[in-house]
Amino acid sequence: SQKIEQNSEALNIQEGKTATLTCNYTNYSPAYLQWYRQDPGRGPVFLLLIRENEKEKRKERLKVTFDTTLKQSLFHITASQPADSATYLCALGTGGTSYGKLTFGQGTILTVHP
């Protein structure tokens, strides 16, 4: 069956360090993968999208990699700040007749300590 796993339920790091979050999937052929940030009691906020034919994307302090052979995406936040503390969700989109439909991982709760 199809499965998306974000390997850590929670991740605690010190301010200034790089946070690395992992998203693994099985039995999917995603056309693209997205990362979202969700704060408590709020809807997800889009961060980055990476397509199946792309290896890496960057946006300011954020970097995402996508390895379709390993079926894994890594999400990095460099020079982390306490304000980065939130739940981070990965989501897969398969395109085709399911265009637009996203399947989400369970999320990783990131806490950045001052």
Partner 1 sequence: GAVVSQHPSRVICKSGTSVKIECRSLDFQATTMFWYRQFPKKSLMLMATSNEGSKATYEQGVEKDKFLINHASLTLSTLTVTSAHPEDSSFYICSYQWVGTDTQYFGPGTRLTVL
Note whether 100 binds partner 1 by CB under 8 A. yes
22, 71 contact by CB (below 8 A)? no
Q: Is the sign of the CA dihedral 8, 56, 105, 2 positive or negative?
A: negative
Note whether 104 binds partner 1 by CB under 8 A. yes
CB of 107 to partner 1, least distance (A): 6
Site string for partner 1, 24-63 (x = CB under 8 A): -------xx-x-x----xxxxxx--x--------------
Checking phi first, is residue 73 left (phi over 0); if not, alpha (psi -120 to 50) or beta? beta
Torsion (CA) 59, 63, 68, 70 in degrees, nearest 10? -170
In angstroms, what is the C-alpha Rg of the chain?
14
Q: Which of residues 65-84 bind partner 1 (CB under 8 A)?
A: none
Select 15 or 56, whichever has its Cβ closest to partner 1.
56
Which residues of this chain interact with partner 1, rule CB under 8 A? Answer: 31-32, 34, 36, 41-46, 49, 89, 93, 100-107
